[in-house]
Structure 1
Amino acid sequence: MDREKLSDKLADIIPEKTTTVRNNGCCKGCPKHSTKLHVYDWQHDFPEMQKLTNMVEVQFKNTRKGYYINSNNIELKKGDVVAVEASPGHDIGTVTLTGKLVEVQMRKNNYREDGNGGPKRVYRIVRPADMEKYELAKAKEQPTMITAREMAESLGLNMKIGDVEYQGDGSKAIFYYIADERVDFRQLIKDFAAKFRVKIEMKQIGARQEAGRIGGVGPCGRELCCSSWMSSFVSVSTSAARYQDISFNPQKLAGQCGKLKCCMNYEVDAYVEASRKLPSREIVLQTKDCDYFHFKTDILSGQITYSTDKNNPVNLETISKDRAFHIIELNKRGKKPLKLVSESEANEVKEETFQNDLLGDQSITRFDKKESGGSSRKRKPRKGRPDNRGRGGKPPKQNEQ
């Protein structure tokens, strides 16, 4: 069985919950399966760069990656499914990167060698026997997860088993769980080992990581950031919503993970920088007409709306930040402008309103059919109908008997 058939049959080794895109031969630097952890190999056209190191990058299920040494000098390329050294036994994964860029990724991810005598090795390209073991182990994952949840619930542990990953040879199982607080699962591990007869490893993940594994579509209409490209998660606070003047609606601020949306951090720096160039919201603008209190602010455009009432929107007026600073400077000198809105701004508002109005000065009733006035001409009687009207348009009186 050649490499391409093995790669196609073991395509499910790539995490199922991440975006998987088939490579249509756009370039040799793109792998056969592209995920959010994909690194573009811009050195693929330089064979000498591929031979500078024996280290390769191998990816497994649930975005788990590892770095292994090709000590047997096997000719490997992206997309090859290989058997690698594990503890215990061996594991099966897909080669995602080769050449000099592997060392760059190792430094970027702070890779540290195990204390067992150097990096682990790549054994071989998978054989049919390895495939059979892997398929048997993978078939156990779903029923194992259901059984593990029942066992954790029976012990009264406040945790959720999110996923189970079996090693390629079926000798080890990794249980991914979510917990809001510290959980003592020592007894649970003993029960797992007695039930499943494999080596047990527990890994805690966050709610955002679980949402990234499951995937979905956000309110913006695009795939979730955590499942498409985001690999590191930064804490999001409600101050990000306050800086951007977003209403504190829990249903709109929370994502599918139940936490605050990660996209709230994307533009918060721009809003903070723009808000520093605006006047304080506590300053009251004084004019000869009345005093104006801050009502709302469009931070990016620099437009500020003021109200004559401190708590209610009354006589709203919108001015630019430059006009607001000018009035504040006049108030400091003891002067008060005649109006809040300057004449130039008022003219600009009128011009914008006229340009945005499609009808302009045209009347909306210009296409209505006008009613004709009263006519002195008498209406002619219809043909076939006698005119029974007398003089003055009244019907003639009948003789009473």
Structure 2
Amino acid sequence: MSVAIDTKTVRIRFLDTHKFSDVENVPEDVQKGDFIVIETEKGEELVLVVGRSVPDPDNPSQYKFLRKATKKDISIFDKHEKEAEKALALCKKLAENLGLKMNLLKSYIPLNRSKIMFYYVSEGRVDFRQLVKELAKRLKMRIEMRQVGVRDGVQMAGAIGVCGQQCCCSVFIDKFDTVNVEMLEEQNLPPTPTKFTGICGRLMCCLAFEVDNYSIRKNLPELESEVEINGKKYVVKNYDFIKETITFYGEEGEILVLTFDQIDELGLKRELPCDNCGMKNNEVERIELEGNENS
């Protein structure tokens, strides 16, 4: 009579690309920090368990759990890593001799030696047919070339960002979000992309982390615009999305600071220009504050 074994879904990290994914039907005794062997499209792979995960019925894991890694599995992985390093050096030399414009990052051999993969970054298409022939002839293995993006390249290699910490992509980022220049303006940052460019040469991923917090900006009066509160005119001088406040300057130099919560509690009605209302840019935006200004 067979005994049912309790299983769970775990979060894993691949050792070649440093990307994350989930694996289902993993025995309960597998813990964070353990190595397990799974079956993927690349072959049998040794991966690191980084924690427990919640299974997604709509997106089931495409990987099959094979076993908890043994000392032999880890020994084979280390042996393959050394072999892959030599293969990478050979590939770089051959690519240079062939005049191929590609930045080779890493080579990788799965546990069952189903193939050897070479990861590279390139600005355009690379005709590496001759390179593959030369490699197959010397390595006696199936060759697979995989082009990755520049952000994927940094995720694989690891690097220190301008903040002095490891790049987010090499620590925890699961998938890359779209990051664009408009996010700088939305977050009151100077429109100088070079100051917010990461190691990869693209805008830093962290610009997308808090962008949703700034969605309220579309409901706020424009900076430097004039507003009227309880019969007094003020100029909108600053938004502070961390403290959730708006700072207004009065005609006599007085400063009024209102939190977003106070605006809602006091019933501040934002009468913003609409497309068809005929309001000109130089007209004063009127905002009526219901209640006592000092309450």
Distance 1:52 1:77, change over 3 A: closer
In the other structure, the counterpart of 1:298 is 239
In the other structure, the counterpart of 1:232 is 175
Partner letter of residue 5 of structure 2? K
Partner letter of residue 163 of structure 1? K
State the TM-score, normalizing by the size of structure 2.
0.64
More helix by share: 1
Partner letter of residue 240 of structure 1? M
- Is residue 297–residue 305 contact of structure 1 (8 Å, CA) maintained in 2? no
Distance 1:248 1:158, change over 3 A: farther
- Is residue 69–residue 121 contact of structure 1 (8 Å, CA) maintained in 2? yes
Q: How does 1:275-314 map to 2 (within 5 A)?
A: 275-281=217-223, 283=225, 297-300=238-241, 301-304=245-248
Distance 1:282 1:165, change over 3 A: same
SS in 1 for 2:154: helix
Partner letter of residue 126 of structure 1? T
Query: Take 2:193 and 2:218, find their aligned partners in 1: how far apart are those partners?
Result: 27
Query: Take 1:272 and 1:123, find their aligned partners in 2: how far apart are those partners?
Result: 46
SS in 2 for 1:276: helix
- Is residue 36–residue 49 contact of structure 2 (8 Å, CA) maintained in 1? no
- Is residue 56–residue 95 contact of structure 1 (8 Å, CA) maintained in 2? no
More strand by share: 2
SS in 1 for 2:89: helix
Distance 1:238 1:191, change over 3 A: same
Partner letter of residue 276 of structure 1? K
In the other structure, the counterpart of 2:288 is none
Query: Take 2:8 and 2:132, find their aligned partners in 1: how far apart are those partners?
Result: 37
The number of residues matched between the two structures is 259
Distance 1:69 1:306, change over 3 A: same
Query: Take 1:95 and 1:250, find their aligned partners in 2: how far apart are those partners?
Result: 36
Q: How does 1:132-151 map to 2 (within 5 A)?
A: 133-151=76-94
Query: Take 2:65 and 2:44, find their aligned partners in 1: how far apart are those partners?
Result: 11
Query: Take 1:177 and 1:54, find their aligned partners in 2: how far apart are those partners?
Result: 35
Distance 1:53 1:188, change over 3 A: same
In the other structure, the counterpart of 2:5 is 51
Q: Are 2:120 and 1:167 aligned?
A: no
Partner letter of residue 297 of structure 1? N
Query: Take 1:177 and 1:225, find their aligned partners in 2: how far apart are those partners?
Result: 21
Partner letter of residue 167 of structure 2? L
Q: Are 2:211 and 1:268 aligned?
A: yes
Offset of 1:237 from its aligned partner?
0.2
- Is residue 68–residue 122 contact of structure 1 (8 Å, CA) maintained in 2? no
Distance 1:111 1:183, change over 3 A: farther
Q: Which sections of structure 1, spanning at least 5 residues, go unmatched?
A: 1-47, 113-118, 308-314, 334-343, 346-401
Query: Take 1:54 and 1:281, find their aligned partners in 2: how far apart are those partners?
Result: 52
Query: Take 1:121 and 1:265, find their aligned partners in 2: how far apart are those partners?
Result: 34
Q: Are 2:19 and 1:77 aligned?
A: no
Distance 1:153 1:319, change over 3 A: farther
State the TM-score, normalizing by the size of structure 1.
0.50
Q: CA RMSD in A?
A: 4.8
- Is residue 181–residue 193 contact of structure 2 (8 Å, CA) maintained in 1? no
Distance 1:232 1:66, change over 3 A: closer
Query: Take 2:10 and 2:196, find their aligned partners in 1: how far apart are those partners?
Result: 41
- Is residue 174–residue 202 contact of structure 1 (8 Å, CA) maintained in 2? yes
- Is residue 55–residue 67 contact of structure 1 (8 Å, CA) maintained in 2? yes
Q: Are 2:61 and 1:111 aligned?
A: yes
Structure showing greater radius of gyration is 1
Choose which of 138, 142, 155 in structure 2 pairs with 1:199.
142
Distance 1:224 1:135, change over 3 A: closer
Distance 1:68 1:138, change over 3 A: farther
Distance 1:332 1:233, change over 3 A: closer
Offset of 1:137 from its aligned partner?
1.8
In the other structure, the counterpart of 1:399 is none
In the other structure, the counterpart of 2:276 is none
Query: Take 2:207 and 2:145, find their aligned partners in 1: how far apart are those partners?
Result: 31
Query: Take 1:244 and 1:293, find their aligned partners in 2: how far apart are those partners?
Result: 20
Identity, % of aligned pairs? 26
Query: Take 2:81 and 2:87, find their aligned partners in 1: how far apart are those partners?
Result: 10
Offset of 1:86 from its aligned partner?
7.0
Query: Take 2:65 and 2:204, find their aligned partners in 1: how far apart are those partners?
Result: 40
Q: How does 1:95-134 map to 2 (within 5 A)?
A: 96=49, 104-105=54-55, 107=57, 110-112=60-62, 122=66, 126=70, 128=72, 133-134=76-77
Query: Take 2:15 and 2:162, find their aligned partners in 1: how far apart are those partners?
Result: 27
Query: Take 1:141 and 1:178, find their aligned partners in 2: how far apart are those partners?
Result: 18
